[in-house]
Every structure is written in C-alpha cells, then in structure tokens.
Chain A
C-alpha cells in the first residue's frame, strides 16, 4: 500500500505517500462537522446578541429621549393644568411661556407617546418599533409651590415573532419641578 522511495544513499530519509483510509475519512468528516456546527452556533449567537443589543439600545434610548423631552418641557412651564395637585392621570397638560404652545399636552395613543403644542397636531415621540404602556403623570406638588410632576412609563419592543432577541421591556420614571 505504500511506496518506498530511495532517494539517496547519503540521505537515508524515507518519505511516505499515503492515501486516506476510511477511518481517516470518517475522522475528517466528524471534525469538519463539529467545527461547522460550532461556527454556525457561534454565528447565530453573535447575530442574536447583535439583535438583542440593538433591541435594548432602541428601548433605552427612546426612554431616555422621551423622559428628557418631558422633563425639559415641565421645567420650562409656567403652570400645570392637569392632573390637579395630589392626583395622577395618563395625560399631562401644561402652560408654557410661549402663548401659542398653550396648552402643551403629553399623552399616549396606540402605544405611542405624543406631544401636542397649542392648536398644532400631536407629534409622536416614540417610533413604531416600540410600544408604550402605563404612562402616568403624578402631580406631587406641595401647596403654593410652582409644582413638580412625576412621570412613569414602560417601553416594550414590539415582538410579534415572540423571539427572545426581540423581547425587551423597561420601566422609566423621573420627576421635574417647575421653576
């Protein structure tokens, strides 16, 4: 099965030129399949991790952005129309220093937080990738103060396929005082 080739007398080196045995072939196939499956598994993990990462970032960033917009608007307001002192509501209505923006209203409609300034049409603050629930504004002001509003909402990534990498939900809460 193998050839011996005498090359030189000086160099007493023997080289082999062998083929594959069945065992070797099987071993090869086994190793390759193991490696391929490992590669595929890790590739999928990487892709899932990337998607999950994107999902989390989407939820976190939209939450932070909405919270900052609401907090900033509250800080720049003159007074709170609703909810009344000591109560909470799903809609926040405030007056600002710009007459044409009165009232400025935040509410949630169809899972989207919206901001409406004066007679303008509502502007969505969150995009179609996420849905917002449990939007609550609490007027926690003490008597005879400019006022303070506590905001809380939950942002959930829309996950129609039910896959883990698209599933993420986070509760955001914060407060802002009128100046």
Chain B
C-alpha cells in the first residue's frame, strides 16, 4: 500500500506514468466513469479549503466512487480532542482511501503511519501540498507537450510559498530546466533551497525583481499570491502585496506560446483583463487538478485501467 505525502514520493518514471494516465483520462473521460464503482474516498479537512476538497470530491465522483468526510475541525472529533492517529484508524474502517488536510505540519505523515488505507496529503500547514505540484506538472506537461528544456519564471512570494518550493523540487528532476526567480528582495527563495536544490543539482537560475525584463525569456510564468497570513507586520504585507501585477501590457512582452499558471486563489497579481488571453492557463490548471487527482486515486487504489 502506498501513500502520497510529498511530491517527491513518486520517482520521475512513476510521475510520468501518472501524468500519462491523467492525460488519457482527459481525452477519454467516459471510459473512466465507473472504474471506482463501490469505492469510497474520505475527505478529512481539518481546515477549510474549497478548491482542493471539491477537486478531490469531483475526481472520485467522476470515477464512479462516492465521498464522505468533513470540511472543518469543528465538525470532526478533533474538536473533542481526538488525535489524528485515532481519527485515521476509525476512518480506515469506513473508506478505501483518504485525502487529509490539516493545519499542522506532518499531520499526513502521522495519518499514513497509522492508516490501513492509502493516505493523500491534501496540504499540511505550510509544509507539503503534493497534489498541487502534480497539478502544476500535468498542466506544464499538457500545454508544452512534455517537461524539460524550458525556462520557468516563478513570480511573487518565493520565500513563504510552499507551492513554489515544491515545484522547484519537482522540476529540477527534469532535463534542462532554467529558472528566473522574480520577487522583491524580502521574498526571495530561501538560501537552503538555492544551496541544497538548485546549486546542488547545477540548475541554472537568476534572481531579479523586475518582471518586465524577464517576460520575453519565459516558457512558463508561475504567478503566486503574497499571503497576508505569512506576515507578522501588516505594513510589510501592504508594501509588498501588489508588487507584481500581470496585465495585458506585460503579456505583450511574452512569447506567443508562454503560459501563465497560478495555484489560485488570485487577488490582484493577475489582472482580470489577462483571463481572456489564450496563454492564461490558471483556470485550465484547476481542471487539470481534477484529472491528476483521478489518476492518483486510481494509482493508489491499484485500479486497473479500462480496456
């Protein structure tokens, strides 16, 4: 039995297999409509999350399975003081697979260590969010026809953004990836990631605070939101929250086949006028999130692919 706790739990080969399955699901949805008939997914959301929870539920329902669960700690026995370990032992009796989101880092690891069903980490605090990374990989894979030989721009909060850190970890495993890290000096990628991931693997990157200058060299632009909850000082947040706003003028500087991704929700960092640009892929990305979760559920449940 396998779990997915970190984006690196799957090898590059396993990830490729998963992405290929997700792509096939995208093209042949009706064929997969009953592959999980009779199977149940438990969504254990100890903190609220609209997109991730609904994406998981949509994925399982699209496979013919059913879902059960809770969407906040208040409506679970955690409010009575039950431990994650006890919760998962009980849920293991009710469902075939579970997706867990918890505000504390490492909660999914605890769940997996006590579970008798596959556990998917749907986000554990600021630590890991592997299905977002798989979604990002599938989006790049589908839009660019593969992953590798490309320049990826990461823009916004590169210091606290866990999706950015996970994506860097995942992308450096592919050939000839180059990064342009676009952020204000205060929100740069932490040194430990530069040293232990980028430098250690001899990955080419440059840091800049100027989005305009970077636009023309990018194949992918991954925008992120500056998150208020990461700042201790409200003044710092206000100063930096609108430091990058992607608009039509900036998009004119980009290649015709450059795609814009965003883990959502967006606030001001992408102007709504960009939404109609065919290179704006962030809502498509949300759809890819469902396909990749469908593929993941099938893989962890060891469901046979339909003929």
Are A and B bound to each other? Answer: no
- A: residues with CB less than 8 A from B are none
